Amino acid sequence: MSIRVRYFASLREKMGRTEELISPEDLATVDDLWRAVNEGHPLPENLLCAINMEYADAGTAVHDGDEVAFFPPVTGG
Amino acid sequence: MLIALRDRAFDPYAEISRFQSEIWGPAGKYGATSVFVGTMRDFNEGDIVQNLWLEHYPGMTERELSRIVDEAAQRWSFLEALVIHRVGAIEPSECIVLIAIWSTHRSAALDATRHILEALKHQAPFWKKETLAQGYRWVEKNTSG
């Protein structure tokens, strides 16, 4: 299983990286993925996530080859 | 329908005029045009803001804008839409966002413009980073309106 994880804005700076490719053994949801790259901590409520450029939730399933993005609340306009 | 991201300053009024006359332009078909122009202020939350960096998520940002405008088009059945949003480095007094809607009657244009603006502010992946006199600050949330 291979997943491209991307970070934006203040989260990108906090994580210290723009993206990473991870190959987890056993992973079902967005929350599982977040925990895999954050020492087991759950996905914070104020963060948003998208799978393949569509909004998703902590419980949404992730699949091999997905691009999963995490980012703070949006502030355009 | 034209939805675009721009990494350089643009004149919203020239864009409206060009879109209406060169790209679209069926004079006599529309009775109402509603326009919203969002401009960069040089202050926010009590601080002077020197300039702004607008980050986006290439691909998803365009997709979200299209989805928002399509959704509004189904609900209000307006005739045309022009949405342009800046990305990158922005200076005070430059236009950040332009939304223009053409419709047969006024309510569709006015209501769709407001709806698209609010949906864009809450759903389209853009993030503002302000340059202050000392250092930088990410804008954490939208103003209340």
pTM of the model: 0.95
Mean pLDDT across the stretch A13-37?
A: 92
> What CATH superfamily classification does A3-71 receive?
Beta-grasp domain (3.10.20.30)
In this complex, is the C-beta atom of A9 within 8 Å of any C-beta atom belonging to chain B?
Answer: yes
Q: Which residues of chain A are within 8 Å of residue B128 when distances are taken between CB atoms?
A: 75-76
Mean pLDDT across the stretch B6-30?
A: 92
Residue B28 to chain A, least CA–CA distance (Å): 31
Q: What is d(CA B62, CA B58) in angstroms, rounded to the nearest whole number?
A: 7
Beta carbons of A77 and B96 less than 8 Å apart: yes
Among chain B residues, the shortest Cα distance to A18 is held by B57
Q: What is the CATH number of domain B2-21+32-134?
A: 3.90.1170.40
pLDDT, one tens digit per residue, over B34-87 is: 999 999 999 998 999 999 999 999 999 999 999 999 999 999 999 999 999 999
Among chain A residues, the shortest Cα distance to B37 is held by A77
pLDDT of residue A56: 98
Q: Which residues of chain A are within 8 Å of residue B55 when distances are taken between CB atoms?
A: 8-9
Among candidates B96, B101, B69, B67, which has minimal Cα distance to B7? B96
In this complex, is the C-beta atom of A16 within 8 Å of any C-beta atom belonging to chain B?
Answer: no
Beta carbons of B142 and A75 less than 8 Å apart: yes
Among candidates B77, B83, B43, B41, which has minimal Cα distance to B65? B83
DSSP symbols for A57-69: -TT-B--TT-EEE
Contacts of A25 (CB under 8 A, 6+ apart): A1
Of B126, B138, B140, the CB nearest to A76: B126
Percentage of chain B beyond pLDDT 90 is: 89
Among chain A residues, the shortest Cα distance to B62 is held by A53
Q: Which helix (H) or strand (E) holds B114?
A: helix B106-123
In this complex, is the C-beta atom of B45 within 8 Å of any C-beta atom belonging to chain A?
Answer: no
Among chain A residues, the shortest Cα distance to B139 is held by A75
Residue A25: pLDDT band (50, 70, 90) is: confident
Residue B27: pLDDT band (50, 70, 90) is: confident
pLDDT of residue A26: 80
- Interface predicted TM-score of the whole assembly (ipTM), two decimals: 0.95
What average pLDDT does the structure give for chain A? 95
Residue A37: pLDDT band (50, 70, 90) is: very high
pLDDT, one tens digit per residue, over A64-74 is: 999 999 999 99
pLDDT of residue A27: 83
Q: Which residues of chain A are within 8 Å of residue B65 when distances are taken between CB atoms?
A: none
Residue B34 to chain A, least CA–CA distance (Å): 16
Q: Which residues of chain A are within 8 Å of residue B122 when distances are taken between CB atoms?
A: 74
Flag whether pLDDT at B143 surpasses 90: no
Residue ranges of domains in chain B? 2-21+32-134
pLDDT, one tens digit per residue, over B90-135 is: 999 999 999 999 999 999 999 999 999 999 999 999 999 999 999 9
Residue B31 to chain A, least CA–CA distance (Å): 26
**Strands across the sheet containing B80-86:** B2-6, B80-86, B95-103, B32-39
Instruction: Write out the two tokens for B90.
Output: 């922005």
